[in-house]
Structure 1
């Protein structure tokens, strides 16, 4: 196959490209330039997409003896990922930009362009497994290394996209991948992993949002509406947050308070005890499916965070909304997050959480 290897400049994508070469594919490396003004160097493990990353990707491609190109997708990344991120926070929701990037950039923009150029598949360094049936069907499964599993952030992919994808690292652990990179003489073997949000390299999400949304003062209240303090903008808060509340009135029981709700229209942030964060009912919009659309009610597992644990649930698709009732309460679930559904290790699909309900109100 002709394979387009997305090379970020990190160890995972370099080894994934190397394995694609070993498998006999005709591999071309491509680095995605996602920033209009990239930094020269990374700040430790924060961010990515710096000039240093582009150079590291090119060096890895040279080591593998494959062609290498840089694709400028900065305009589309700004529109589809960064602007969406800001708009979601402005609306009181908590987005996951990694899912959005996978959906709109790596497996939509890149795959579309790759197929148009005659490539058969896109190869990435994600930790997930693909199982291909004799009938041509493709299933997305969790990686062997549970600590590195990235199937959650791939839950937005469609069956068509998965059919044209390769995830060579799925059967391996991170330790094995680093050892392989060193054995291959790849200079990125010991390079730190990227963490946090790639387009906020300094990690100051509040400052990033302030620069784009400005100061929007409002009230911090408890569940019965009692004023407890003030804030500079609802975009500083997400459901489940504990730090940075700046409350002038301590709780009567002395226990910490958490953000229970964010309402940008009124500028109100509601706080309360941790137990008030528990929910057992979720509804999600914009469902996507990795295979056939499930019919009726079914039993499965759901996960609401990239590194969260799965819980048992009953699920049902009602028109264009995925309705989920979990077997045990989930804490700190915010609208805007993704709920990803599994059948054991297989990813069934995902949806964007639009509403939640506590155990006391779940029918």
Structure 2
């Protein structure tokens, strides 16, 4: 370990000193390997804290400085020694990402969505397997819708210094050939602002792309369905119906596969915006109202289960989707929501308004009965 002179400091270290100075008077800087040790005395009362893995109370200084250090590629800890306070900056150690997995899953999803999309275009794969290529337009549309959602989360998380993985597409032999896409977050959430921005970005960007895809699909010539198999009837959400009122649509009962991809995007957005648990809506509501969101998160599974039962047994219509989501949320809502490092500073009015608008868009993107077979 060797001492660093203020004159010889690296520009990044100088920036870190500037970030620290509102909270600590730095009287010494040392470097050991890739870690940097800042010795200082607090400028205000700062509660005792261990490193992040064992802290009981996270100090406001830690809350404020974590993001600043993360933006420079460092993880941050405060230690208290008899001789004074030590602020330790060490390079962020991200879990080794096997990106080949992302690539393989994306290729597999491209294939499964292409095959299922070709069936939507009326392909007969038994007589001509190469007809699967007819599903490429649907593949591009559905992966753009789902990928843009996760890309929104990824870009905004990186902007806030959060550690996150690339999107993982999930191939699955469903009607659309996939179970969607996910990303993985590592480490703490800096503050409510970051929690809100990450939570709201995916649905808004995904919904924007869904609207574009829907418009493109509605402008396409109608598809002649030759299959004698089962029929799926889609419930059109208000947002989709609004688009059909301003786009000239051919008189046909069949929805174009590309427009169907836009419909799927709207459904995915609406379901993700349910304000409970670890869903995007749960993140947004937690950022907006704090711990009070836990009451909504705990109540919603019962609300959805009751809604599904009412639709099935009283109205005699398909409410299975709400039974399914009610059961899913009942399993995960009880686990609570991770607390941001800085949970004290409320959101600004602009974000609060954007949160309300986002939930309203979610309601406009779904119907009580999205589909029936």
Tell me the TM-score normalized by structure 1. 0.25
Tell me the TM-score normalized by structure 2. 0.25
Greater strand share, 1 or 2? 1
Greater helix share, 1 or 2? 2
Q: Larger Cα Rg: Structure 1 or Structure 2?
A: 2
Q: Which has the higher contact order (CA 8 A, sep 6+)?
A: 1
